[in-house]
């Protein structure tokens, strides 16, 4: 089977906008928007290939980049690897050096543009941050709120409200108070047996829910927030892929104080599992900001954590 390695870039400018380019009308999937890039040459280093393609297509010289997401598609006659990097530093003014239309858009506006279906995970990765906070169980609501204020100061915006000590009714009441205070200052995900009904608030499925929904499908969702799932092995990652979640957490990577008897996957196994799913993956378990570079090298979107981020 023919194997094709394609480099692509999510290019972010100082204003936080993302550069997208329009495919020629006479090309395969012509008229759709895409993330710039092109085929890696034989024996060419990935970073070198990325720099070459962006210089040829956009006239920019890359100065800072890292892997973002790796997507693989098998067709009857070929296998395509879409190797996507996040570019946050470059010299020159990006333009369509080959005559293609290009534009800078806010990450939140990417959904307004038509991309090839294979680009959907890239759109999600481009919109998601590097860190995903899971709140620790806290009986002291004041301390929880103070911790969330500190979380804002630390620049974390993606948060799962997890309070396992609360019954469903208590959890819902707390959710109301949290949203009243913090509102849209965070991108929220909630736990529960049903999808949240709050506009823009997401739902984080447990591994148990993944297995239960795998044969029944997802219930109707009225919220436009993120849909995520907790995964621990290849089977659960496959279920998450089938259900069409936006991203997953994979754990535990390393031993943690909260689960001292749980053996960690380790970096090598985590990297292999990340390669089995075309979704952004946050690594969880023993993670801290100091582990971010290792997470990126393993192909992860970033890290998720409780104690390491709160």
- Binding-site residues from annotation: 23, 28, 34-37, 57, 119
Contact status, residue 286 vs residue 264, Cβ threshold 8 Å:
yes
**Which residues are within 8 A (CB) of 42 and not within 5 positions of it... i.e. 6 or more apart?**
none
**Which residues are within 8 A (CB) of 34 and not within 5 positions of it... i.e. 6 or more apart?**
8, 20, 21, 22, 23, 115, 116, 119
38 vs 44: CA distance, rounded Å: 13
Q: How many residues are given for the chain?
A: 310
**Binding-site annotation: residue ranges for Mg(2+):** 37, 57
**Binding-site annotation: residue ranges for 8-oxo-dGTP:** 23, 28, 34-37, 119
Q: Give me the residues paired with residue 105 across strands.
A: 18
133: phi then psi, degrees, rounded to nearest 5: -85, 135
* Pairing of β 78-91 and β 2-11: parallel
Distances (CA, A) of 51 to 19, 64, 93, 234: 15, 10, 15, 34
User: What count of Cα atoms within 13 Å lies in the side-chain half-sphere of residue 167?
Assistant: 2
Helix (H) or strand (E) holding 134: strand 131-134
State the alpha helices, DSSP H only, in the chain. Answer: 46-58, 120-127, 141-153, 168-182, 207-214, 234-243, 267-274, 292-297
What sign does the dihedral 259-261-267-273 (CA atoms) show? negative
Tokens describing residue 120: 């959907």
Tokens describing residue 54: 């962006």
């Amino acid at each position: 089977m023919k194997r094709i390695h394609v480099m692509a870039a999510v290019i972010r400018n100082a204003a936080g906008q993302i550069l997208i380019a329009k495919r020629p009308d006479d090309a395969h999937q012509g008229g759709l928007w895409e993330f710039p890039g092109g085929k890696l040459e034989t024996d060419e280093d990935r970073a070198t290939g990325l720099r070459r393609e962006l210089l040829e297509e956009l006239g920019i010289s890359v100065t800072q980049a890292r892997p973002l997401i790796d997507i693989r598609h098998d067709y009857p006659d070929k296998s395509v690897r879409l190797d996507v990097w996040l570019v946050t530093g470059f010299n020159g003014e990006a333009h369509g050096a080959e005559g293609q239309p290009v534009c800078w858009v806010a990450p939140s506006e990417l959904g307004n543009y038509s991309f090839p279906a294979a680009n959907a995970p890239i759109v999600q990765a481009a919109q998601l941050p590097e860190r995903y906070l899971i709140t620790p169980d806290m009986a002291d609501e004041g301390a929880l709120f103070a911790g969330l204020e500190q979380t804002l100061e630390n620049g974390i915006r993606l948060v799962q409200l997890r309070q396992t000590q609360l019954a469903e009714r208590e959890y819902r009441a707390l959710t109301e108070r949290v949203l009243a205070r913090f509102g849209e200052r965070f991108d929220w995900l909630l736990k529960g047996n049903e999808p949240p009904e709050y506009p823009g608030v997401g739902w984080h499925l447990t591994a148990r829910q993944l297995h239960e929904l795998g044969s029944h499908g997802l219930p109707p969702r009225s919220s436009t927030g993120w849909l995520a799932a907790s995964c621990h092995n290849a089977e659960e990652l496959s279920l998450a892929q089938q259900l069409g979640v936006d991203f997953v957490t994979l754990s535990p990577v390393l031993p943690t104080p909260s689960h001292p008897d749980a053996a960690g996957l380790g970096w090598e196994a985590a990297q292999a599992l990340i390669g089995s799913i075309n979704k952004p993956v946050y690594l969880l378990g023993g993670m801290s900001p100091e582990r971010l570079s290792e997470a990126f090298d393993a192909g992860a979107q970033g890290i998720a954590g409780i104690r390491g981020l709160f």
